[in-house]
Amino acid sequence: MVCEVGDTTLATDLDEKKQTYAGLEIPEYWVIDVAGLRVIAFQLQADGKYQQCDRSIALQGLSIALIEQTLVRLRHETNGTAALWFIQQISNL
């Protein structure tokens, strides 16, 4: 799994880097859109191309929406409070 944090490089992360990682056969690729508070996750398909997904295979079914909810919390809470909330959520998986 590879994760890119896209702030000023979002377009590059969603195009050039995605193609590079597909060529390296990385099974899962995430782009975190800092400004948009979203995670765009992809899984490598048998044809060598990425398809967007809503659950991680590398992190055993972790919901991408849960990561996005944590990003939103980080805007209004301390890192510790948001992390504690996240831990509580994943302990129920």
* 37 Cβ contact partners less than 8 Å away, ≥ 6 residues apart: 68, 71, 72, 75
The two beta strands, 50-53 and 28-33, are: unpaired
* pLDDT value of position 92: 72
DSSP letter at 77 equals: S
Q: Span 57-77, mean pLDDT?
A: 93
The residues spanned by each domain of the chain are 2-90
Read off the pLDDT of residues 1-49 as tens digits, 9 standing for 90 and up: 999 998 788 889 999 999 999 999 999 999 999 889 999 999 999 999 9
pTM: 0.86
The conformation of residue 8, written as its DSSP 8-state character, comes to: S
